[in-house]
Chains A and B, each alone.
Chain A
Amino acid sequence: MLLSANNYDVIVIGAGHNGLTNAAFLAKAGLHVLVVEKNSYTGGATASRELYDGWKYSNSSYVCSLFRPEIYNALDLGRHGLKVIPLTSSMTFKQDGDYFGSYHNPNVRRRELMRHSMRDADAAIRFDADIMRWCKLIRNFLLRTPPDPGSFRPRDAFEFAYLMKKFHELSESKIYEFIRFFTMSIAEYLENYFENETILAHYSGGSIIGTGLGVYSPGTAYVALHHAMGDVDGNIGAWGFARGGMGAVSGALASALQAHGGEIRTDAEVAKILVSGNRTTGVRLTSGEELSAKIVVSNLDAKRTFTQIMDESDLPPKLVERARNFKIRGSSGKLNIALDGMPTFSSLPKGSPLTLGHMHFTDTLTRLEKAYDDWKDDRWSTDPYCDVLIPSQYDPSLAPPGKHMMTVFVQYCPVAPEGGWSDDKRDQFGQTVIDQIADYSPDFKNLILHAEIRTPRELEAEIGLTEGNIFQGELTFDQLLFNRPFPGYAQYRGPVRNMYMCGSSTHPGGGVMGAPGANAAREILRDLKKPDTTPAAFSDD
């Protein structure tokens, strides 16, 4: 058994969603694939764990929208148990006791916009059309390998031509508008549409999630798109809950992988990728065991891959320098709070559907920007931006009967506050967040049964995301498209032969999207001259 197992075509390091996606497509092509995972559970940041009896919920990533429907379809994930329930509302509480709600019903949403600003209600139509146009453009590139500007191969020229062609489908003024969008800050971009402070803050929030940038930093408008380009069954920009938590996503992927004959080994941490004669030969686990394989794929972030599990002597010096300088700073924290019952929010009328969606408490751009100023100085935001959801309202499997589970994503939280993290500081950080929520929900604090507080320190230690960066590397211009993760290495191939990368560090980046994993599989199959099992993008034209 051990002997036969120790002879793989491919070893994928890390059973996060991209690792599993990658492995599943390779297994589907008939390759003998093993996924090794350091933790005792699969999923990485896409996991549901039962840390307390009766509470099994998403620990890290918590909503799902970017996951490509093409991959869902090609791997038959529905039959492997995945269900994504659309989540179509969001809201922002105001300090003055009012709130802005982006309701799921379009008529109600429009009226709510009108309640805050008649003009903004109409401007939202122009905004939606523009964002939709940019989404349509960007989506073309998600399931494709970025062209290499340093290459003269016909394939790269073709990909560049494809990129240009898609751009040229826009009118000239829209091309400029797109470049402006791509290079502007979210706050300034939104100010071209909206006048109401709360509406501006509400729509800005998504753009700073996971980034080391503020709402006034150029480049954040694109991050908004990165969060908005997903859809759940045609609800563009809508998020969804995976029933059973995000573990259902990785669970379905693992099941698809196994159905195609792939294997997963947990509690198997890779110490080194073995290289011999500029070619990978396999991996050595921390236990000392060596596993050989023709191909090794790393789902770890690029910094970890090249600075921790590969020998510097096996790598080009330029690449090692790039990996060291790779921008992968954590900026987010996470609280998972178990509640004895459903909290009430004083400003919401009874029966308001808004608790079903995202809830935010930051109602001005200035508050958002000041939250960023704190982070720039290596402090957690004293008035953070929180993305709060109570998924147990939809999904009773997450919490014991009558109880509720609240997930809180917090921006910003530093990689390390001055003097480093301690348990004490972590709890203070958690308290800051809890206090903010309690300002709007009087019974909230009394309902708390237990809370899991995760700063970048915890995220790195548990999941292996360097510095707790949720995207495995910042989504800034120097790390997008053919620059992701490094110029010259954006086509999923590593610096040594038979070594590949498939994590969110590669194009098109983070979020539970699966596209990097699928794209990497396509390149591997191409090199092996095997038929492509990965899907092409759905087109809506």
Chain B
Amino acid sequence: MTELTDVVVIGAGHNGLVCATYLARAGRKVLCLESSDTLGGMSAPRTIAENYHFSGLAHTANPVSAAIRRDLKLQRFGYEPGKAIETIALDLEGRHLTIGANRISGDALSESDAKSYIKFRKQYLAFAKAMRPLFENKAPRLKHMDFADKASFAMLGWNIRLRLGRDTMYEFLRVAAINIYDVLNEAFDDELLKGAIATDAVMGSAMGPRTPGTVLTWLQRLHGELNGPMFVQSGERSQLVHALAQSAEDAGVTIRLNAHVEKILIENGKAFGVKLLNGEVLEARTIVSNADPRATFTQLVGAPELDTMFANRVTQIRGTGVVAKLHLALSGIPEFTGLTVSQLSNRLLIAPTMRYVEHAFNHSKYDQSSENPVLEITIPSLHNDAMAPEGHHVMSINIAFVPYNPGGDREEQQTSLFDKVIAQLGQYCPNLKSLLVDHELLTPNDIEREYHAVRGHWHHGELSIHQSFMMRPLHGAAQYDTPIESLFLCGAGNHPGGGLTGLPGRNAARRILKLGRNA
């Protein structure tokens, strides 16, 4: 059967939906194909033991940008970022540290560190803000620039040289490419504070605090904060995907679930359609892939349609997931030593020192998992009762660093990891074990299988400097268009990368519209 549409978008993750909706609003006839039976990809809700609901892989988020909210009328479709939360860095002795956007408190925190924190955060937010032209537009090319590229560079130069001012600019140029470890050691003494910020810089990446490039990953995180404070994803309104789906539908996007694309059809160097696993062929003028660029090129396109070096560079894209997700169904409220119930609605971190984080990372380099993993914990049911049966709770935990290729028996690995995390958590939350009803553990391996993310990487590719900006996912395909005519990319593997920002999707749509009807 052949059906004619303007655009086929492969994958209904949030970037795919954002891209599809933008294109539909611009008058294109858009068909969005999703291989699973739910929308949202990594941000699609999950349920365990029937009544315990989770927000999917991403348990916290920053609001999407005002532009996307406005353009896609997300408010109208019910999107409302959740209540701002703070971060509590847990201390084994109960001297926890509460870290907020503009305040910080803790029993053991020195006054000078408290002051430095405010100054530090302000400075780095200014850096993130200065980088906006780079983050929010297509990545400019370094030769053969078009007007938009020149404008991005001009804005960036203006921001860095003139808006930051000379001294701040010097500082920005000094730190932009280095590691968070050195920067934090310069700024603070408090180990708990340094551990917490370092965790934010490395979570989701196969990098330790000492790895150069971690200031940049942290700046990318801060860039999200420019849209508003972090919140816990807990049910309909706070979860972007619900509003996105409605906005897409409203714009006229046709969404098909359980439609697994097997191949992108190409003739004479031009993509003209897709073939589904069931053999069905869908033709379109433009094909947009929200899939991992590695999967897009090696599986959906295939080497015969690509140049040798390009195909080779695709295989060299680095991105192996090192974070596992543990979902716990609990029969009651977990009690953390030294924390009140109301404090539990915040994000809790177990990352007491930078050395602890670095050690956790060390093991993953050799495909082992650390005895002392870094944990990021949220309890979404404290934000929305509907997430769990009455009186019950759900806890969502990111575990870093977990190897993708641990070797050995899979079941055994899972059990041992689960036990390790529960034991670790038990030190801070003595009643946890007694509350366990059920759990679900998603290792990078599982994430790869469930979300078609190559090697289980959240961001479809490491956010290292050599895979950022005009080199993301790889040069030759870093402006959303690809060597294949009419084939575009719109996923997290592209500039500016992962997180629930929708920016890759929006930028890709703008690029497609810019290139015109026949793109």
Chain A contact residues, CB within 8 Å of chain B? 149-150, 167-168, 171-173, 175-177, 179-180, 183-184, 188, 191-192, 213, 216-219, 318, 325, 327, 366, 369-370, 373, 376-377, 476-478, 482-483, 486-488
Cβ-closest chain A residue relative to B476: A173
- What residues of A have a CB within 8 angstroms of the CB of B49 in the complex? none
Q: How far is the CA of A478 from the CA of B362 in the complex (A)?
A: 24
* Selected A-B contacts with CB under 8 Å, 18 pairs: A150-B166, A150-B169, A168-B143, A173-B476, A176-B471, A184-B464, A188-B318, A191-B316, A192-B316, A318-B167, A325-B186, A327-B182, A366-B366, A377-B355, A477-B212, A478-B175, A483-B174, A487-B170
Cβ-closest chain A residue relative to B464: A218
- Whole-angstrom distance from the CB of B277 to the nearest CB of chain A? 33
Q: How far is the CA of A175 from the CA of B471 in the complex (A)?
A: 10
A-B residue pair count with CB separations less than 8 angstroms = 87
CB–CB B170/A488 < 8 A: yes
CB–CB A175/B466 < 8 A: no
- What residues of B have a CB within 8 angstroms of the CB of A483 in the complex? 173-174
Whether, in the assembled complex, B144 has its beta carbon less than 8 Å from a beta carbon of chain A, the answer is yes
CB–CB A487/B161 < 8 A: no
Cβ-closest chain B residue relative to A149: B173
Q: How far is the CA of A477 from the CA of B212 in the complex (A)?
A: 9
- Whole-angstrom distance from the CB of B69 to the nearest CB of chain A? 34
CB–CB A217/B212 < 8 A: yes
Whether, in the assembled complex, B281 has its beta carbon less than 8 Å from a beta carbon of chain A, the answer is no
CB–CB B173/A218 < 8 A: no
- What residues of A have a CB within 8 angstroms of the CB of B213 in the complex? 183, 218
Whether, in the assembled complex, B123 has its beta carbon less than 8 Å from a beta carbon of chain A, the answer is no
Whether, in the assembled complex, B243 has its beta carbon less than 8 Å from a beta carbon of chain A, the answer is no
- Whole-angstrom distance from the CB of A109 to the nearest CB of chain B? 25
Q: How far is the CA of A376 from the CA of B208 in the complex (A)?
A: 11
Contact of B143 among A175, A177, A366 (CB under 8 A): A175
Contact of A218 among B366, B466, B476 (CB under 8 A): B466
Cβ-closest chain A residue relative to B167: A318
Residue picked from A219, A366, A477, A482, most chain B C-beta under 10 Å: A477
Known: A376-B358, A478-B175. A216 touches B471 (CB 8 A): no
Cβ-closest chain B residue relative to A373: B362
- What residues of B have a CB within 8 angstroms of the CB of A369 in the complex? 365
CB–CB B464/A376 < 8 A: no
Cβ-closest chain A residue relative to B363: A373
- What residues of A have a CB within 8 angstroms of the CB of B425 in the complex? none
Contact of A149 among B169, B212, B365 (CB under 8 A): B169
Q: How far is the CA of A188 from the CA of B211 in the complex (A)?
A: 14
- What residues of B have a CB within 8 angstroms of the CB of A173 in the complex? 475-476
Main secondary structure of the interface of A (DSSP, over half): helix
Residue picked from A149, A167, A176, most chain B C-beta under 10 Å: A176
- Whole-angstrom distance from the CB of A392 to the nearest CB of chain B? 39
- What residues of A have a CB within 8 angstroms of the CB of B177 in the complex? 183, 219, 477-478
CB–CB A216/B365 < 8 A: yes
Cβ-closest chain B residue relative to A170: B143
Q: How far is the CA of A213 from the CA of B177 in the complex (A)?
A: 14
- What residues of A have a CB within 8 angstroms of the CB of B171 in the complex? 487
- What residues of B have a CB within 8 angstroms of the CB of A175 in the complex? 142-143
> Interface size bucket, B side?
35 or more
Known: A150-B166, A179-B466. A376 touches B141 (CB 8 A): no
Cβ-closest chain A residue relative to B175: A478
Which B residues, 458 to 490, have Cβ-Cβ distances below 8 Å to chain A?
A: 464-466, 470-471, 475-476
Cβ-closest chain A residue relative to B366: A366
CB–CB A487/B316 < 8 A: no
- Whole-angstrom distance from the CB of B295 to the nearest CB of chain A? 20
- Whole-angstrom distance from the CB of B232 to the nearest CB of chain A? 32
Whether, in the assembled complex, B178 has its beta carbon less than 8 Å from a beta carbon of chain A, the answer is yes
Contact of A172 among B143, B170, B318 (CB under 8 A): B143
Cβ-closest chain B residue relative to A168: B143
- Whole-angstrom distance from the CB of A218 to the nearest CB of chain B? 4
Q: 9 smallest A-B Cβ distances: which pairs? A: A487-B170, A477-B177, A176-B475, A172-B143, A183-B465, A180-B466, A218-B212, A183-B466, A478-B174
CB–CB A180/B471 < 8 A: yes
Q: How far is the CA of A213 from the CA of B182 in the complex (A)?
A: 12
**With contacts A149-B170, A176-B475, A183-B212 known, what are 14 further pairs, Cβ within 8 A?**
A150-B170, A172-B475, A176-B470, A179-B471, A183-B464, A183-B466, A217-B211, A217-B212, A218-B212, A218-B465, A218-B466, A376-B210, A477-B177, A478-B182
B291-333 toward A: CB 8 Å interface, digit per residue (1/0)?
0000000000000000000000000101000000000000000
- Whole-angstrom distance from the CB of A480 to the nearest CB of chain B? 9
- What residues of A have a CB within 8 angstroms of the CB of B471 in the complex? 176, 179-180
Cβ-closest chain A residue relative to B467: A180
Q: How far is the CA of A376 from the CA of B361 in the complex (A)?
A: 12
- Whole-angstrom distance from the CB of A178 to the nearest CB of chain B? 10
- Whole-angstrom distance from the CB of A359 to the nearest CB of chain B? 26
- What residues of B have a CB within 8 angstroms of the CB of A376 in the complex? 210, 358, 362
Cβ-closest chain B residue relative to A378: B355
Cβ-closest chain A residue relative to B471: A176
Cβ-closest chain A residue relative to B358: A376
Known: A172-B142, A172-B143. A477 touches B210 (CB 8 A): no
- What residues of A have a CB within 8 angstroms of the CB of B355 in the complex? 377
- What residues of A have a CB within 8 angstroms of the CB of B141 in the complex? 172
- Whole-angstrom distance from the CB of B405 to the nearest CB of chain A? 14
Cβ-closest chain A residue relative to B157: A149
CB–CB A218/B211 < 8 A: yes
- What residues of B have a CB within 8 angstroms of the CB of A191 in the complex? 316
- What residues of B have a CB within 8 angstroms of the CB of A213 in the complex? 212
Cβ-closest chain A residue relative to B165: A150
- Whole-angstrom distance from the CB of B425 to the nearest CB of chain A? 26
Cβ-closest chain A residue relative to B181: A376
- Whole-angstrom distance from the CB of A184 to the nearest CB of chain B? 5
- What residues of A have a CB within 8 angstroms of the CB of B175 in the complex? 478
Cβ-closest chain A residue relative to B161: A149
- Whole-angstrom distance from the CB of A89 to the nearest CB of chain B? 30
- What residues of A have a CB within 8 angstroms of the CB of B143 in the complex? 168, 171-172, 175
Q: How far is the CA of A416 from the CA of B110 in the complex (A)?
A: 27
- What residues of A have a CB within 8 angstroms of the CB of B211 in the complex? 217-218
Cβ-closest chain B residue relative to A213: B212
- What residues of B have a CB within 8 angstroms of the CB of A183 in the complex? 177, 212-213, 464-466
